């Protein structure tokens, strides 16, 4: 991003010529007045999208946009756009060296998501793009001292509000799928959260604030991932990791790295899934949270399974089981409460199913259903689809169809592309057995579900 040094002065002149206060202009362009004050003072840099919004609100043609130049991935400046464009790939995947710049990158991301969602759906995913941010995280001293100089005072109640709202959306995500909550989470980030991070706070409050925002940003990533928007989910994960670094929260950073590994394995990027899981495990050790260390080990196993390396997978699974058994869960962060015996069993099942060992996977898939199917309705649907798959692998298509119908019923009310994908895979595998009555029944039941997706 290249910004003309005169941008702030020209913005102030145009605003004052229109007789607008910072607060009124902020409402017009969906920014906090504190953020606009920083732009005028030159302490923050605008994106091309923000410059275009300001031009539109101030009736200045493309005067401000001409002072902001986006830089492409190959370092070549691109022409500014008059209309607000999508967040750039460079910004969305950048792990900013400075926490203040990191705030700008994240705000640009979720603002671009809200304004140009249709275009952002198409941004690409590359697991290798996770590696530079992961390395930056591992090498970071986590010594940021985030402070805010805005007008609104931010305190503990504001941070607790973010956490409670995030917890509510997380519960809804688990029950109904990412497609139901994604837009609401992003709108919350773009509105209330943006106003708070542009407020006034000291370093202690700032760290707590960034940790809370990291959780919300990670949830936006998870909901986007579940909705099949993988490139966008990847960008939210990178920015969540940057927030965790600003907060100095090693445990949360480990959890975000684990989510990166999870998505990479789902996208069949085995090498990156393994490396990211190991990075998560290292951070978990530093944080002293054995549960995340166990989760990282089982995700490493999943990466090995995707690569077809049964021996390495078995070693990682053994390590995960031992870590889980001796983990002291009393001091775990509340956001890892989902990681229990049923979740671990499901991961074991997925590993063995990926390796084509349905005979072993079936035992774990059955055990994974010993869970709270109401609170984690989406997870239960995944686990039923997994169990049905294991019956296909063991040569029992009729039983696979019976369980598959349960998975179809569990998908009702879910807005989850992953749920649909698991059913699509099961339908494809059962296709060659369509001569069997139970398989035909499954096929008839699943067809409208897949067609409606």
pLDDT tens, the chain, 453 aa long = 577 888 888 988 888 888 888 888 877 766 677 778 878 888 888 876 577 668 777 888 668 877 876 443 334 344 333 333 433 433 589 999 999 999 999 999 999 898 876 666 667 899 999 999 999 999 989 989 999 999 999 999 999 999 999 999 999 999 999 999 999 999 999 999 999 999 999 999 999 999 999 999 999 999 999 999 999 999 999 999 999 999 999 999 999 999 999 999 999 999 999 999 999 999 999 999 999 999 999 999 999 999 999 999 999 999 999 999 999 889 899 899 999 999 999 999 999 999 999 999 999 999 999 999 899 999 999 999 999 999 999 999 999 999 999 999 999 989 999 999 999 999 999 999 999 999 999 999 999 988 875
Residue 367 located in a structural domain: yes
In this prediction, residue 60 carries a pLDDT of 80
d(CA 268, CA 279): 18
Q: Which of 56, 85, 114 is the last residue of a domain?
A: 85
Using DSSP, state whether 435 is helix, strand or coil: coil
- Rounded to whole angstroms, the Cα distance separating 347 from 298 reads 7
Kindly provide the residue ranges of all beta strands, DSSP E only, lying in 359-409, ordered along the sequence.
none
Residue 151 · residue 135 · CB < 8 Å: no
Q: What is the spatial distance between Cα 188 and Cα 173, in angstroms, rounded to a whole number?
A: 15
What phi and psi values does residue 125 have, to the nearest 5 degrees?
A: -115, 135
Distance CA 271, CA 307 (A): 8
Residue 305 domain-assigned (yes or no): no
Q: Please check whether residue 27 lies inside any domain of the structure.
A: yes
318 domain-assigned: no
Q: What angle do CA 302, 373, 213 make, to 5 degrees?
A: 65
DSSP, residue by residue, 110-141: HHHHHHSHHHHTT----GGGGHHHHHHHHH--
Rounded distance, CA 418 to CA 407, Å?
12
**CA angle at residue 24 from 47 to 220, to 5 degrees?**
45
**3-state class (DSSP) for residue 77:** strand
First vs last Cα of the chain: how many Å apart? 38
Is residue 403 assigned to a domain?
yes
Radius of gyration of the chain measured on its C-alpha atoms:
24
The residues facing 148 across adjacent strands are 201
- The angle formed by the CA atoms of residues 34, 253 and 102, to the nearest 5 degrees, is 30
Nearest to 149 by CA among 204, 208, 200, 194: 200
> Residue 5 is part of a domain; what is its CATH number?
1.10.260.40
Q: Which of 375, 376, 384, 370 is nearest to 426 (CA)?
A: 384
Is residue 441 in some structural domain?
yes
Query: Which two tokens mark 263?
Result: 């998505």
Instruction: Evaluate whether 301 touches 280 at the Cβ level (below 8 Å).
Output: no
**Can you give the residue range of the structural domain that contains 45?**
1-85
64 belongs to a structural domain: yes
How would you write 150-178 as a 3-class SS string?
A: CCCECCHHHHHHHHHHHHHHHHHHHHHCH
Domain count, the chain: 2
- The residue from 85, 111, 134 where one domain ends is 85
Reference 4, options 56, 78, 65, 49; nearest CA is: 65
Domain boundary among 53, 85, 117: 85
Across-strand partners of 71?
77
The CA–CA distances, whole Å, from 381 to 143, 312, 378, 404 equal: 42, 28, 5, 10
Residue 289 CA to residue 287 CA, distance in Å, equals 6
Bridge partners of residue 200, in order along the sequence: 149, 153
Residue 385 lies in a domain: yes
């Amino acid at each position: 991003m290249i910004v003309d040094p005169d941008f702030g002065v020209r913005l102030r002149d145009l605003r004052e010529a229109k007789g607008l206060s910072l607060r009124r202009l902020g409402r017009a362009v969906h920014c906090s007045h504190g953020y606009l004050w920083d732009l005028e003072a030159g302490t923050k840099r605008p994106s091309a999208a923000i410059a275009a919004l300001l031009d539109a609100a101030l009736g200045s043609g493309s005067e401000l946009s001409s002072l902001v130049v986006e830089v492409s991935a190959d370092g070549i400046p691109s022409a500014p756009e008059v209309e607000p464009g999508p967040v750039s790939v460079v910004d969305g995947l950048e792990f900013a060296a400075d926490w203040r710049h990191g705030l700008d990158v994240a705000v640009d991301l979720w603002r671009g998501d809200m304004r140009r969602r249709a275009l952002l759906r198409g941004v690409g995913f590359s697991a290798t793009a996770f590696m530079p941010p992961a390395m930056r995280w591992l090498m970071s001293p986590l010594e940021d001292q985030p402070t805010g100089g805005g007008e609104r005072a931010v305190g503990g109640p504001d941070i607790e509000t973010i956490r409670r709202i995030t917890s509510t959306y997380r519960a809804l995500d688990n029950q109904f799928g990412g497609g139901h909550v994604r837009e609401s989470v992003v709108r919350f980030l773009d509105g209330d959260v943006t106003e708070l991070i542009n407020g006034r706070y000291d370093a202690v409050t700032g760290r707590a604030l960034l940790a809370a925002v990291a959780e919300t940003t990670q949830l936006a990533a998870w909901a986007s991932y579940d909705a099949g928007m993988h490139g966008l989910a990847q960008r939210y994960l990178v920015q969540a990791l940057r927030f965790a670094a600003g907060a100095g929260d090693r445990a949360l950073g480990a959890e975000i790295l684990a989510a990166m590994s999870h998505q990479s394995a789902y996208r069949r990027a085995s090498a990156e899934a393994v490396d990211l899981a190991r990075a998560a495990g290292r951070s978990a050790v530093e944080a002293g949270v054995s549960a995340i260390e166990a989760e990282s080990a089982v995700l490493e196993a999943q990466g090995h399974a995707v690569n077809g390396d049964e021996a390495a997978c078995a070693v990682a699974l053994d390590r995960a089981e031992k870590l889980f058994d001796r983990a002291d869960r009393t001091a775990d962060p509340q956001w890892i409460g989902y990681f229990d015996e049923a979740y671990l069993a499901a991961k074991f099942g997925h590993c063995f199913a990926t390796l084509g060992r349905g005979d072993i996977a079936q035992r774990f898939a059955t055990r994974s259903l010993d869970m709270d199917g109401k609170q984690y309705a989406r997870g239960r649907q995944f686990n039923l689809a997994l169990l049905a798959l294991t019956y296909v692998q063991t040569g029992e298509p009729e039983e696979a169809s019976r369980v598959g119908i349960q998975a179809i019923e569990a998908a009702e009310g879910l807005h989850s592309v992953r749920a649909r994908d698991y059913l699509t895979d099961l339908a494809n595998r059962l296709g060659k057995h369509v001569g069997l009555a139970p398989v035909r029944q499954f096929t008839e039941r699943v067809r409208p579900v897949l067609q409606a997706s």
